[in-house]
A and B are shown apart, each in its own frame.
Chain A
């Protein structure tokens, strides 16, 4: 099929395949290397560098140019042909470039971060494998392949969360992550099966293109009618619910978000790449791929859930003390924003936010990695029993880690969404469009944009809290253990270079020439599917001002509280504090209402198996045993008894008759006499 394409296109396709395959190759090479080999890091880093360059070339060729779709038969089942192929459009090349560009600094950073690990080459095997799955996920054209790579990214995330598999927490976290993701997977699988039954194809283009099969189907009279078939309308809802489950699991949305905070047990570099920038965004990407499927009502439901997740996660982030956990909840919150944006129809803003968020959240995690690494060093050097991720022990690291501090501030500002940063462009876009969306709807719909607004202020608060607690004030660990040796630094170039690279990407120029208007961002325009000319609404002015003025106020407020040495702003026993600190008790609730009953059910099943089914079998066996015994008894006592009776009767008669024949002549004469007498008497009597 390739040779039918123009020469340029086939080059682009080859580049794409190479970009995807390079990390796989690196993973295979690393798998064969000895576990401690230091070559592994460079193999993986070079591979991802290659992917990066190739992805850039593909991006340049496709973006705002034309789409490429090529496929060939993978296998035939029955009479259905299943195709495998590549689909390159604006969305996929953006993600292709984004993933490889984010992965590159993380790889460089990892070579230093994992330097002393015993299973160094395994780490890079897994990391490269992840990159392969993620890159493949964004370019494949068939839902079956999409599902396959969707699950493979989950699998590599499983391997990496549990990388330190001797830690109990880590292995429980990776199990939880995989199983919750599996819930999403079965949703996606069900959706794919439903779509296959309805449309007889797995091809994303045929299904979701502008004039695709999805757009030609209608819902009428409780029937979901497509050119290729008809199903009851309920299955349209179930398919969408399935997709949503998949999105919620991968992108950590309520109610399937609980795995992400636990996933922070993996190495921090992994959290930066997988659990902040790329994999968790795959859910949003999936929504982008199947967007035409959703009806207005379903989109509204999506918006509600995204909004709730954003708010809930932000409130939790306010009170956590674990550095990575705060960032994890912040990720959940920002992903909520993206889902919300998808729900309110801000398709391109959502993906825009995905891109900007990838950079600043990745940067924040790399910063956290450096801080945690240094705390770990202090812990190891002094044999302390502390949690190196606890921010209440940090403070004053500004002077000790100057570069880290500066980049952290840039990333933090981008996360809050202050002007001049990339976060401002994407987040304000979402907020503005959310308000525009709620216009003309009932007053209740206003709750959604207002909650989003509130959430962005909460974001400002927890970001400042985090930065102040870590970098400002004095080093609180010294208050607890005064005599510790500490010589902490930013680290080598493998640490510094990624930080600088990513920090540059957090600023506005990469995305838009105009730092204040999201509508001028090239990325936003490239993805805009509606292509409607936006009318200038009043929100374009009010929202950014309101958000940022209040944000600044909140930031100042937070700064003044937390830079004081004693910080007890809120009573730590209050209901809201407890709710937030205990993460809204989701884990406890799930444990009680889902996991425990299921385990009870399992045990009940097993008891049923043992007692009832096997019991019945044993009953049968015993019954036949008893019947057999009864038969044996009958045999012995009745049948044999009769025979024995006969035998003994014969014997006794014989014995009796024997008495007459004892060989004595007198006795015979006497008997004869007796018989003659007897006959004689009988004769007389008769």
Chain B
């Protein structure tokens, strides 16, 4: 049994167990789920420790350099004159996936610990939760486009129901908005996928293939196919490869989210229950960034290079626009949602720079934001569970009332605003360094983009500190009066045990960023080399 396959499908196994258990045992479901995620975490850490690094394990466009690979023929149809349809079950990871996988498994454990607040229809909830778990892990491992797309679409279904059934007051609006937004992106992705399939042949078998790694090699495109680099085909008068890139980019940009495709995010976050918010911010957004690196840039490197300016510009706009919006918010969760938009802008900017510093910084930022946004949303959940309110102006002086909670909020806020010593600082600083350097190295991004990016760091401090001052400091005053005062008890043991590892990880990654960079470097260098060679 391949360890990666095990990692992907363990949640399903436990899901089946939950499905078979009678509802009278419903209180045990959360422990079963916790066990599943813990096993998953254990496996991913084992993989992290056994992950080989070095120039021969770069991955990216070398199929033989991926690790923990499993490749099985899955669907094989003889289509007569169209040749043979070949879809493989093909999973494997390189440096970019491994760090995100470990992050994902850990966030899943934290999300499970946040499910304690769910009280209704437990069986359904945990089944969907585990299905979602399988899908997101699968996305990070799949190297066959068809498989990737399947996992990618499979995420939508559980999320729609998780938001729509267990969410807040406007949950249906938020769920349908989220669903349509993402579906809009992925439907067109399907078309590009089919186009790519028809353009690419596997040199080993001579058949068309969905193999992502093969799609990266221009030699595998047949002479006159639609996405062939040499053929210069057009779609609706536009170069076909550009159209393909833009379509895929939009699909992933919705996930990231990139302004102006971001408005599903605040609504989905505000309405989603805490565990779902955690998965949304912690993992789903990273799938967008991961998809851009692996699929958009991997398959269409020429277009990505030609249009790097616009990608970078979108990154800068996301950073600043997200930050300005965060400053204007009156709802704590919405503020954090917009701060996610701002922080993910750095990811896009770093990727657009196509420098080693920029891309490594972007991956680091994804990992770091995965942990920090998890922590932030969990913290909001703590408050919301106690008084069912999140209005920033409805609380004052929480520092006296909940000192431990305030301490964790301060850690999360300062880590998010990029205080040195925490992971976000290294990520943002090097993303910006790579962005600035880009003009000298490959001439893609103008110098000013990095300088505008630094403004995002300043605004980050402004919105986090302002919130801190308004909600946690000053004389105590609560909208709900004494009722709230008795309800607002400090963190309990479970909450402390959930938050402490996140805080420690953010700190450890900030002090020893090599934990991420050592694994990522070879792949990033391979990617940069690949982009220059294209």
- Residues of A whose CB lies within 8 Å of any CB of B are 74-80, 144, 147-149, 151-152, 155, 162, 165-168, 171-172, 175, 178-179, 182-183, 185-186, 189-190, 192-194, 196-197, 229, 231, 235, 238, 598-599, 601-603, 605-606, 609, 613-614, 617, 621
Contacts and interface: CB of A to CB of B under 8 A. Distances in A.
B454 A613 contact: no
Given A76-B518, A165-B474, A155 B419 contact: yes
Nearest to B320: A605
A190 B432 CA distance: 9
B324 interface: yes
B447 interface: yes
Given A148-B420, A149-B420, A152-B421, A609 B432 contact: no
A151 B420 contact: yes
B146 to A, nearest CB: 29
B417 to A, nearest CB: 8
Interface of B: 177, 180-181, 260, 262-263, 321, 324-325, 327-329, 355-357, 359-361, 397, 399-400, 414, 419-421, 425, 429-430, 432-433, 436-437, 440, 447, 450-451, 454-455, 457-458, 461-462, 465-466, 468-469, 472-476, 512-514, 517-518, 521, 524-525, 528
A477 to B, nearest CB: 27
Contacts of A79: 356, 521, 525
**Interface SS majority for chain A:** helix
Contacts of A80: 356-357
Given A151-B420, A193-B436, A613-B263, A606 B325 contact: yes
Contacts of B436: 193-194, 196-197
A76 B514 contact: yes
Contacts of A74: 514
Nearest to B334: A606
A192 to B, nearest CB: 8
A189 B432 contact: yes
A75 B513 contact: yes
B152 to A, nearest CB: 22
Contacts of A182: 457-458, 461-462
A78 B521 contact: yes
A80 B455 CA distance: 25
Contacts of B473: 162, 165-166, 168, 171
**Interface SS majority for chain B:** helix
A189 B429 contact: yes
Given A165-B399, A605-B321, A78 B458 contact: no
13 contacts: A74-B514, A75-B517, A147-B420, A155-B419, A166-B473, A179-B458, A182-B457, A193-B433, A197-B433, A602-B324, A602-B327, A602-B328, A605-B328
A175 B472 CA distance: 13
A201 to B, nearest CB: 12
Given A78-B521, A194-B436, A605 B324 contact: yes
A605 B524 contact: no
A166 B475 contact: yes
Shortest Cβ-Cβ A-B pairs, 5 listed: A78-B356, A148-B420, A171-B473, A75-B514, A606-B328
Contacts of A151: 419-420, 425
A168 B325 contact: no
A172 B327 CA distance: 16
Contact of B400 (A148, A166, A609, A621): A166
Given A79-B356, A197-B433, A231-B440, 14 more contacts: A77-B360, A77-B361, A77-B517, A77-B521, A78-B360, A155-B419, A162-B473, A166-B473, A166-B474, A166-B476, A183-B458, A193-B450, A605-B325, A614-B263
A78 B457 contact: no
Contacts of B461: 178-179, 182
Contacts of A155: 414, 419
A544 B375 CA distance: 61
B233 to A, nearest CB: 30
B454 A189 contact: yes
Nearest to B513: A75
Nearest to B516: A75
Contacts of B421: 148, 152
Contact of A602 (B325, B433, B455, B469): B325
A79 B357 CA distance: 8
Contacts of B469: 171-172, 175
Contacts of B321: 605
A235 B457 contact: no
A248 to B, nearest CB: 15
Nearest to B468: A175
A61 B76 CA distance: 77
Contacts of B462: 179, 182
Contacts of A171: 469, 473-474
Contacts of B447: 235
B325 to A, nearest CB: 5
Given A152-B419, A602-B327, A193 B400 contact: no
A147 B260 CA distance: 33
Given A149-B420, A151-B420, A166-B474, A189 B357 contact: no
Nearest to A187: B454
Given A190-B451, A193-B450, A76 B429 contact: no
